[in-house]
Structure 1
């Protein structure tokens, strides 16, 4: 009787994912889910999951929270700057930049100028931003290039 040896089938995903798509595919495979089933958990179609996994598209802000919930973690690198921390918070909440500005009662352009260091953020607004972020936002503020007198 001939002996038949079979090689272990290689995994079709990266053990050390770099892109969001790689993170999604790895998690889905670990859970033994089809793209359709993963999509149901995140509230999207199988085609959407396939496009995210392939890197063809990225989730809109409204889908960041379900994606993070599915993965069990935020796959993006740890934020260092105030702008990166705000972006991470937006991903976790599934909101847009404009929605954050409106929530804070600020113009989106004003928030942009605070984040890029064009304007110095006043103490009262820094406290509001700290409260939104849940952290000390003033610690990573860039140095202002000009002060609009606000």
Structure 2
């Protein structure tokens, strides 16, 4: 650039990027196990911590999240209470809290 030349900025570029999703993160959850895994990762819980909350083995959490087994109706109630909402409701109803 020659001496005495003025540079004018004609635009600003703002680049944004999203952090990559953690390995195994269910970006489109379908099962209650997918929703549980998504909730667990989003809230920084380990599978062991969730197992303590739900009073099941850690391996049970992994089986639910991996689609190798399904929770019993009693455990589904525990999952909904733990998460604070029923993830299987329509999106518009997702954050309705459980009434006892």
TM-score, normalised to structure 2's length?
A: 0.62
Unaligned runs of 5+ in 1: 1-7, 79-91, 93-150
Distance 1:76 1:9, change over 3 A: closer
Deviation at 1:15, TM superposition (A): 3.4
Unaligned runs of 5+ in 2: 1-18, 91-97
Paired residues in the alignment total 73
Tell me the distance in 1 between the aligned counterparts of 2:64 and 2:40: 12
Cα RMSD after superposing both structures? 2.1
Tell me the distance in 2 between the aligned counterparts of 1:73 and 1:21: 14
Q: Between the two structures, name the one with larger relative contact order (CA 8 Å, sep ≥ 6).
A: 2
From 18, 22, 35, the equivalent of 1:23 is 35
Which one has a bigger Cα radius of gyration? Answer: 2
Question: Which residue does 2:22 correspond to in 1?
Answer: 11
**What aligned pairs does 1:61-140 form with structure 2 within 5 A after superposition?**
61-78=73-90
